């Protein structure tokens, strides 16, 4: 069993569910649960996401037995596999550009096999493609979805190595599963279309018995749209920061595609280990419903002995408060002011001081434009106070407010609800990108609504 996340984003609730199901299966069967970081995409990987993956898994209590393995450190294995594929003629070199492929796009989806028989040398600057069979079918039994067959003629000659020599996802994925003796590939349904390619490669590399496959249903939001990083709150650590209990989170993740039967919804981890059956996972998409998660969490909170509730709330508050409290030392006159200047970090939404708000709006004609520009700048910077500082200067200049002090006003109001408080950029750093952006857009909606109604 393994969880094989790519460190290109936050640890997602979907990855959490997949990790849990793998973990449960491993614990039930005295199996080995491996953590493998699939960091072959050098352009999109970020080390902080690798940290975040491990932190979130530890928080959930999904301990791994082996790893973390990093694909970026296993290049020799992939190169050896590629050499074997070249020697057996299973792959060929291709120098087509993406534009050429697009122009020629014919009856076969994707790549049309243009370079198949050109006999190009596999030199630098040329990618390697797998020669998929023209006839026959690739078939596998999926524990969740039954038998799946694909006509080989429908599978394009997919790439296994990039033109710069880096392995492509599918090659590293197959080579590692074989090398790590993975017996069960339990992963999201979005990987089903990769599985036929996986099997063709597996066979070409002569690896022996294939793993068992189980593709878990996709997650949808409550509007029945596929859960998305952009639209929905999906980072496990955001839920941690909002004060969800890890045991409640695990319980809820367990219900995404599986159920303990009846209308039972509260299932402890021990009960899940005893009762979970991979065969009982449903194939229909599962709804990730934040309100449901909230009600599960509330059940867990209610079940805590009062003393434990105090201890856990205290730990949660302290973790958030410690970095920010010293930042208001210069401004607060009483301990209670230390609290009112920092409470924006703890609340789901800031309490907007209406006096401060009206004054801020009146004195800053570019109020809405600033919020808008700041959101745009903040959405893809490193989330550090230095980068936030620069981005805010840039946003201010863009809308004609070159004075940083003035440019900060709408942002501070949107995020903290007040016009005075701790240093802004440190505050934003602590609040996190998602919550900052949500507050900026709420404030923008408010100021537009108010100016619309006169
Ligand atoms: N690295 C892939 C992903 O993050 C997972 C591949 C797999 O589980 O086989 O989606």
Residue 379 and residue 289 in one domain: no
pLDDT by residue for the chain (454 residues), tens only, comes to 999 999 998 899 999 999 999 999 999 999 999 999 999 988 889 888 999 999 999 999 999 999 999 999 999 999 999 999 999 999 999 999 988 888 887 665 689 899 999 999 999 899 999 999 999 999 999 999 999 999 999 999 999 999 999 999 999 999 999 999 999 999 999 999 999 999 999 999 999 999 999 999 999 998 889 988 777 888 999 899 889 999 999 999 999 999 998 889 999 999 999 999 999 999 999 999 999 999 999 999 999 999 999 999 999 999 888 888 888 998 899 999 888 889 998 888 999 999 999 999 999 999 999 999 999 999 989 889 999 999 999 999 999 999 999 999 999 999 999 998 899 999 999 998 888 999 999 999 999 999 875 4
Q: Is residue 229 annotated as a catalytic residue, yes or no?
A: yes
Residue 87 and residue 197 in one domain: yes
Q: Which domain holds residue 374?
A: 344-451
Examine residue 332 and state whether it is found in any structural domain, yes or no.
Answer: no
User: Relative to the CA of 6, which ligand 1 atom is closest?
Assistant: 4
Q: Report the alpha-carbon distance of residue 251 to residue 293 in Å, rounded.
A: 9
CATH of residue 153's domain is 3.40.50.620
End of a domain among 174, 195, 216? Answer: 216
| Tokens coding 317 | 């508050």
Give the burial string for 2-14 (b: 16+ CB within 10 Å, else e). Answer: bbbbbbebbbbbb
Residue 192 and residue 113 in one domain: yes
> Which of 187, 196, 201, 202 for a ligand 1 pocket mutation test, highest count of atoms within 8 Å of Cβ?
187
Examine residue 321 and state whether it is found in any structural domain, yes or no.
Answer: no
The model's pLDDT over 386-398, given as tens digits with 9 standing for 90+, comes to 999 999 999 999 9
End of a domain among 194, 216, 238? Answer: 216
Residue 391 and residue 441 in one domain: yes
Residue 82 and residue 212 in one domain: yes
Residue 91 and residue 203 in one domain: yes
Question: Which residue's alpha carbon is nearest to atom 7 within ligand 1?
Answer: 4
Residue 252 and residue 148 in one domain: no
Q: Is 447 exposed, middle or buried (0-12, 13-18, 19+ CB in 10 A)?
A: buried
Examine residue 388 and state whether it is found in any structural domain, yes or no.
Answer: yes
Examine residue 267 and state whether it is found in any structural domain, yes or no.
Answer: yes
SS3 90: coil
Phi, psi at 37, each rounded to 5° = -95, 115
pLDDT of residue 454: 45
User: Which residues, in sequence order, are CB contacts of 38 under 8 Å at separation 6+?
Assistant: 4, 5, 6, 7, 71, 169, 172, 173
Q: Report the alpha-carbon distance of residue 252 to residue 316 in Å, rounded.
A: 20
End of a domain among 201, 216, 231? Answer: 216
DSSP-derived secondary structure for 180-191: TT--EEEEEGGG
Structurally, the chain folds into a number of domains equal to 3
Q: Is 283 exposed, middle or buried (0-12, 13-18, 19+ CB in 10 A)?
A: middle
Examine residue 183 and state whether it is found in any structural domain, yes or no.
Answer: yes
Residue of 108, 197, 226, 229 with catalytic role: 229
- Which residues lie across from 138 on neighbouring strands? 150
Question: Which residue's alpha carbon is nearest to atom 6 within ligand 1?
Answer: 4
Examine residue 308 and state whether it is found in any structural domain, yes or no.
Answer: no
Residue 159 and residue 209 in one domain: yes
Residue 204 and residue 226 in one domain: no
Instruction: Return left, alpha or beta for 165; rule: phi > 0 is left, psi -120 to 50 is alpha, else beta.
Output: left
- The residue written with tokens 């280990």 in the block is 273
């Amino acid at each position: 069993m393994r969880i094989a996340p790519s460190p290109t984003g936050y640890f997602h609730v979907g990855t959490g569910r997949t990790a849990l199901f793998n973990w449960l299966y491993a614990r039930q069967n005295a199996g080995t649960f491996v953590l493998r970081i699939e960091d072959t995409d050098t352009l999109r990987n970020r080390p902080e996401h690798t940290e975040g993956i491990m932190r979130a898994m530890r928080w959930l209590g999904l301990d791994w037995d082996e790893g973390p393995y990093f694909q970026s450190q296993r290049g020799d294995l992939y190169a050896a596999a590629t050499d074997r594929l070249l020697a057996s003629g299973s792959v060929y070199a291709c120098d087509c550009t993406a534009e050429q492929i697009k122009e020629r796009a014919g009856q076969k989806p994707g790549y049309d096999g243009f370079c198949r028989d050109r006999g190009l040398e596999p030199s630098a600057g040329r990618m390697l493609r797998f020669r998929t069979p023209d006839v026959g079918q690739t078939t596998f039994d999926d524990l969740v979805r039954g038998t799946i067959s694909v006509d080989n003629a429908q599978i394009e000659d997919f790439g296994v190595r990039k033109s710069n020599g880096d392995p492509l996802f599918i090659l590293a994925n197959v080579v590692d599963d074989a090398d790590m003796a993975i017996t069960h590939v339990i992963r999201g349904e979005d990987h089903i279309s990769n599985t036929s390619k996986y099997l063709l490669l597996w066979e070409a590399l002569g690896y022996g018995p294939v793993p068992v496959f189980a593709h878990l249903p996709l997650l949808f939001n409550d509007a029945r749209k596929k859960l998305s990083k952009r639209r929905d709150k999906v980072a496990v650590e955001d839920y941690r920061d909002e004060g969800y209990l890890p045991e409640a989170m695990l319980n809820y993740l367990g219900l995404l595609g599986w159920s303990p039967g009846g209308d039972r919804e509260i299932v402890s981890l021990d009960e899940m280990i005893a009762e979970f059956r991979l065969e009982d996972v449903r194939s229909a998409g599962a709804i990730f419903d934040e309100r449901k998660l909230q009600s599960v969490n509330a059940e867990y909170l209610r079940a805590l002995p009062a003393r434990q509730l105090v201890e856990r709330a205290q730990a949660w508050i302290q973790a958030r408060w410690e970095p920010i409290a010293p930042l208001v030392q210069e401004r607060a006159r009483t301990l209670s002011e230390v609290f009112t200047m920092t409470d924006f970090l703890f609340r789901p939404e800031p309490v907007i001081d209406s006096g401060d708000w009206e004054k801020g709006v009146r004195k800053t004609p570019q109020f809405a434009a600033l919020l808008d520009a700041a959101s745009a700048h903040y959405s893809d910077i490193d989330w550090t106070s230095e980068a936030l500082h620069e981005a805010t200067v840039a946003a201010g200049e863009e809308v004609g407010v070159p004075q940083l002090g003035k440019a900060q006003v709408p942002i501070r109001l949107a995020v903290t609800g007040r016009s005075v408080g701790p240093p802004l950029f440190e505050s934003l750093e602590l609040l996190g990108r998602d919550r900052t952006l949500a507050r900026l857009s709420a404030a923008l909606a408010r100021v537009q609504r108010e100016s619309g109604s006169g």
